[in-house]
Structure 1
Amino acid sequence: MDEHSLLDKAKDVWDKATEHISHYLDLKKGIIENEVVEVLGDAVKIVGFVRNTTSLIMQKRFESFLKGFTTGSIPTEDQIEKLIDYIDDEMKAEFIADTFSKIMLARSSQACLIMGTMLNDLMESKHQISHEKLICIQALSQFFDDDIKNFSFIYRYISDRYKGKSKRRSGQLSGKAFNNSIAEKGLIKESIQMTIEKAVTCQLLLKYNEVDLSIDEDSPSISSTADVEEYFQITSPGESLNWQIIKCGSYV
């Protein structure tokens, strides 16, 4: 089968899935007619097959998604049938359509690969869409390739350094040991710090403070001091995202 035939095949199977999504979302044509909305609507079908788009980056993102979603070059009829069977209510239809739009606007090919894997897992397991998965997809839509690499490092650092020391997977992300570990992995400290803040915003890490109160027993009213230390805890979505990163071979 030549390349042109493969593209036609891919468009056919994705059009079939799109029609099914439209049934649940009650989509109506012509409500809003501006170029941006039209491009987004077409991209739900498949990036690279609409308006002879010149956006090679968008096509690359979608190709990365397909690598995660299917083991072949294009989705098979059987996989599309499974996806259609999975979409049995409005919430799932919205989730699938929203995931496709996030893929088109994503900032990282690795993120698209992971989103494809997550969507395939949901389809195969037939699980309901959890809040945890929604957070992961949203975080991935905001991540660059460097963020994925940095988050993998952060997760491993907390897990390895604080293993068995705390019931919750948490620890400090500062100090000499942390900086040395960054250098050993050939990463950039400033980049790591930006990913930490992004991970907190995306609910992958929970930032909290602990107070270490030192009291002089002889003069408690005079010699009491309090040291506030900042800690980061890996959340449930953070755990889930790390597993998906490992599954896709994107870890540090």
Structure 2
Amino acid sequence: MDNSLLAVRDINHKYIVVESIEKLIRYVDNQSKAEFITNSFDKIISSNSKLACCVMGLMLNDIGQHNDDISQEDLIMLNALPMLNDFDIKNFHYLYKISSKNHKSNHNISPKDIKECVQLYNITRRNLYLTMGVLEKYNLMDKNIDVDLDIDEDNLDFSSVDCDETYYFNSISQKLYTYSSMLFKD
């Protein structure tokens, strides 16, 4: 490569880094923002997932670009991302994509969505449920349990209980999907 082209590329790279640092300095105008940025860098460094690091970077860039205050949803997502692995983020992305296509108004996950995800993306059902458990644990997904209790007062042996679990994507899931969509071009 020509030395002049290398010099131009190097100058451009240095300019982008300096510009990013200047934006960060302008963004950090109070203690809570400084703590948030410090914690974010710590989470990125401690994460075992390159996809989680990318999502955190996109999230920080978005917050800094809009000079947004930190929301509770941002904090929840920032704390959850280092706990996810690359498989979890991929599984989440594919399941959310299918679920939002099949259920326009609500974001519940049906058995049909799981079956479709297994078939389209070659993911095992077990791995999808593992991911859903992790997402629910870190508030990136909600679970609703409906219990139907039928008590026979004359004979308790004839009583029955029916329990249905339904998983839902929440507003934090929606935000995570926005960022994961920037990583996956499917």
TM-score by length of 2: 0.80
Q: Distance in 2 between matches of 1:232 and 1:195?
A: 12
Aligned-pair identity (%): 29
For structure 1, list consecutive stretches of 5 or more residues without a partner in the other structure.
10-70
In structure 2, the residue matched to 1:178 is 114
In structure 2, the residue matched to 1:79 is 20
1:236 aligns with 2:174: no
- Partner letter of residue 94 of structure 2? F
Q: Tell me by how many angstroms 1:194 deviates.
A: 1.2
**Matched pairs, number:** 178
Give secondary structure in 1 for the equivalent of 2:183: coil
Match of 1:156 among 73, 83, 97: 97
Q: Is the 8 A contact 1:99 1:137 kept in 2?
A: yes
In structure 2, the residue matched to 1:249 is 183
Q: Is the 8 A contact 1:102 1:141 kept in 2?
A: yes
In structure 2, the residue matched to 1:58 is none
* CA spacing shift, 1:140–1:74, aligned 2, 3 Å: farther
Q: Distance in 1 between matches of 2:134 and 2:15?
A: 33
Q: Distance in 1 between matches of 2:90 and 2:19?
A: 33
Give secondary structure in 1 for the equivalent of 2:123: coil
TM-score by length of 1: 0.61
Q: Distance in 1 between matches of 2:13 and 2:72?
A: 29
In structure 1, the residue matched to 2:107 is 169
Give secondary structure in 2 for the equivalent of 1:203: coil
Q: Deviations over 1:186-222 (max 9, x none)?
A: 11222211111100011011111124578xxxx9988
Q: Distance in 2 between matches of 1:103 and 1:83?
A: 16
Q: Distance in 1 between matches of 2:116 and 2:33?
A: 45
Aligned-pair Cα RMSD in Å: 3.0
Q: Deviations over 1:146-198 (max 9, x none)?
A: 1110011221233223334xxx42234x4x66235312321122221111110
* CA spacing shift, 1:104–1:236, aligned 2, 3 Å: same
* CA spacing shift, 1:72–1:132, aligned 2, 3 Å: farther
In structure 1, the residue matched to 2:162 is 227
Q: Distance in 2 between matches of 1:136 and 1:73?
A: 31
Match of 1:138 among 60, 76, 79: 79
Larger relative helix fraction: 2
Q: Distance in 2 between matches of 1:116 and 1:139?
A: 14
